[in-house]
Chain A
Amino acid sequence: MNSYDAIIIGAGHNGLTTAAWLAKAGKKVLVLEKRSVVGGACVGNDAALDPAPFSGGFLRPDIVRHLKLTQFGLNPAPVATDLISLLPDSRQLVLSADPVKTAESIAQFSAADAAKWPDFVRFMDKAAATLEAAYATPIPRLPKFSPTEGLPLAQLALKIRGLGARDMYAFIRLLPMSAKEFLDDWFESDALKAAIASLGIHNANLGVMSAGSAYNLLHQYLIRGGWGQPANDLRQVIAALESAAKAFGAEIRTSAEVARVTVENERVSGVLLASGEQNSAGTVLCSADPKRTFLSLVTPEPLDPEFVWQVQTLKMRGVTAMAAAQSAAPLPAGTLIVAPSLNYLERAYDAAKYGQISEKPYLEITTAGNSLSIHFQFAPYFLKNATWNAETRAKLESIVVDTLETRLPNLKSQIHNLKSLTPLDLETAFSLTEGDPHHGQLALDQFFFMRPIPGYASQKTPIAGLYLCGSGVHGGGGVSGIAGRNAAKAVLKGSL
């Protein structure tokens, strides 16, 4: 039996961030990964060609700096790619990091909107910075907390106030709004509003008219660093994290499935592998989602049954499917979306409400050379009167191809090697409960001090020494490393 300062379950981007962060602080760290490859939801099975739950993303700049990831092969912060909305009349709306270029594109649809664009981006950047500060703020256990725990909260409140009265109200008001209502306040062009609103439903079981989709919009904008997906290869992010963690002294083991987190006297004592091997550690950080963590990785005895019930009722409800393919014909560069109108997106979501696969889906296509990665919504994990099987997969794939054909004519005859991930695949192959890439919906009742569970947003769990470091906690959702970083900081601040 080997002994460690900390054992991290899962070598996804958050697990690796935590591992590298703790190893850099001199801790003896072991990372255990069930799959034969590291990277979690960022990396498909055959690293080169298979689809993964995430087709793009980057780590927060402070993580890149702290872990010196550029020394480990990571390109410095990439610019977000252009978000290109492919419209049915073959026009394109391009949202770019360059405001002048974007305003020109918007002017095709509305001169007034084009004029407002710089103001809108300025607001979004301020709001995103505020959200990032909120994500970096350790959330104490409400309502009782010590003054030292309350200090960061007070600092956050000051930061929000620092937005100035108008933006402060706009920021707070934004959070519970629907993406549609939020954008109606700014713009008149439906095509423009739909393109922006697509971020609001990305990986969420929400429509553009659902409360809280404006918050998800801001969240996506923050972690992407703009409109399209970051212009980098996720595999490179993972490779850099892995190299950094190893260089700092972390031990990473793949094909090492964890059977149980072991608990003695209400305190974590280590981890039992499926192979029967036991490793001991006073601190265990689990990057699996909260359901998997509390309902299968720990025995229920030390947990309050009411807490277990709250875990059982967490909303996962994945609605995302992924596909990857190669094309013989050249592909446009950037992040291409099929999101022509607000109504189109809302209809796509309607299907999910009724347990059906959207016939006219929201697609986000990222391209790299002749490869495409396709993000598909809505494909609900829970299908009505059907399950995810060969038949429903074939239906999903045919909708993907047919929808692509409406925007990129003749692509159908050019693409080959199409592979898909249904929400069930996300669960079985990537351990994402109910196929939710966010480890729990980023919904109004599951965010900030309520993520994952009211009272437990501080990475700590009811079991002493057990921490959550995955996407399911405050700050998590998508690729950013925030949850992994926060967990490492929380552990270092504690007794370890």
Chain B
Amino acid sequence: MLRTTPFHPRTSLINQLQNWRRWSGYYTAGLYEMSHEREYWAIRNAAALFDVSPLMKYLIEGPDAARLLDRIVTRDVQKMSIGQVIYTPWCNAEGKVLDDGTVSRLGETTFRMTSADPNLRWLNLNAAGMDVSITDISDQMAALSLQGPKARVILNRCAAKSLDGLKYFRLMENAIAEVPVTISRTGYTGDLGYEIWMEAANALPVWDALMAAGHDYGIAPAGILALDVARVEAGLILIETDYTAAHHALIESQKSSPFELGLGWAVNLEKGPFNGKQALVAEKAHGSEWMFVGLEVDWVGMERLFHEVGLPPQISPLTLRASLPVFKGSAQVGYASSSTWSPVLKKYIALAHVQKPYFEIGTDVLLEVTVEHQRKYAPAKVVKTPFYEPEWKKK
């Protein structure tokens, strides 16, 4: 039996299709209306409100809290300032990614970590010999994500303190409807956005206040389907879709290093020992065999494939979470793990694993697509991600 989040009394009433998906053992809305399109456009043009309570959350406290996290993740936690949030992957000893998430420095010796998979065992294993306490606060803490260009103005209408000074990947203590909340300027859409963290028991007044404040700005509760399109546009990876967590991989080739996932920017090889450092130093020296890149499908080429059978392009509005082979000539050189029609860009885009040397920006490749039950090859180009990055994201 799946569990319900603290917002279920609200979200269950507006979920028109009763379309629920499973996320970390919780019911989470796939979409609220008959189609996810309005929810998607709310992300890009107004503001969308997501219930992200099922995220795994851990409170890490004590003199060795920074030391523990620094040993686990690939970025430098010791250097974080109080109130800073980082996005980071973390690896096993072989330098293969176990999970990715955020680390927030709430105080000198207090951190909150979010992750996709349960990480309590891993945190405890790593804490052997350290003076630190680790608490799984996943159930105690509810979370909302307000994403879109109007997110700030909506929050400013209902929050006790103005959000104007809050920089990208920073957090602040605040209050909404007199409920104490932490607001971080983070998200999973590549747009202007905030995540609001609160005690589960006080969750509903916060939802109500945000919905009321956002009414005039076209706020829309949004589900996973809309989010999935936005996160591909933003070039953000999804565990078990774009990579297999090393703990779950059945065979060696299913595992990926952060470099192979395009997260080399989040690997700090200068800091002290951390899990996977030796392997990552070696990989850096030799160069990675794989890279995670964006593919932009040539629309004219795509149209032609459908035209050949007498059809206009038949493109799903949903993100496809399935593997599509990528070719160079007749040789397979990779696979796309997420692909979608981008409504804002009016382009068909994909996130793909591509082998050396075909992952260089500008390389022409072919993406396998199915047209009327037949395999076809659409021309595509390796491009930089994010595909979509509005100027207001970091401003």
Contact = CB atoms under 8 A, between A and B. Distances in A.
Interface stretch (A81-89, A214-222, A292-300): A292-300
Nearest to B71: A301
A305 B129 contact: no
Given A300-B71, A306-B93, A295 B275 contact: no
A429 B278 CA distance: 38
* Interface residues on chain A, size class: 10 to 19
Contact of A295 (B93, B128, B277): B128
A300 B275 contact: no
Interface string A302-323: 1011111100100000000000
A306 B122 CA distance: 9
B129 A299 contact: yes
B125 interface: yes
A304 B275 contact: yes
A201 to B, nearest CB: 32
A301 B125 contact: no
**Which of B130, B274, B275: most chain A Cβ within 10 A?**
B275
Please tell me the size bucket of the interface on B: 10 to 19
A305 B122 contact: yes
A277 interface: no
A266 interface: yes
Interface string B130-150: 100000000000000000000
Contacts of B67: 301
A188 B126 CA distance: 53
Interface string A336-379: 00000000000000000000000000000000000000000000
A25 to B, nearest CB: 30
A266 B278 CA distance: 8
Contacts of A312: 128
Given A295-B128, A305-B93, 4 more contacts: A263-B273, A300-B71, A304-B92, A306-B93
Interface string B256-286: 0000000000000000111101100000000
Residue from A299, A301, A304, A308 having most chain B Cβ neighbours under 10 A = A301
A312 B129 CA distance: 11
A260 to B, nearest CB: 11
Nearest to B276: A304
A227 to B, nearest CB: 42
Contacts of A308: 125, 128
A296 B272 CA distance: 19
Contacts of A305: 93, 122, 125-126, 128, 275
A409 to B, nearest CB: 52
Contacts of B278: 266
B274 to A, nearest CB: 7
Contacts of B92: 304, 306
Contact of A304 (B93, B129, B130): B93
A413 to B, nearest CB: 51
B257 to A, nearest CB: 16
Contacts of B272: 301
Given A266-B273, A266-B278, A300 B129 contact: yes
A300 B128 contact: yes
A306 B125 contact: yes
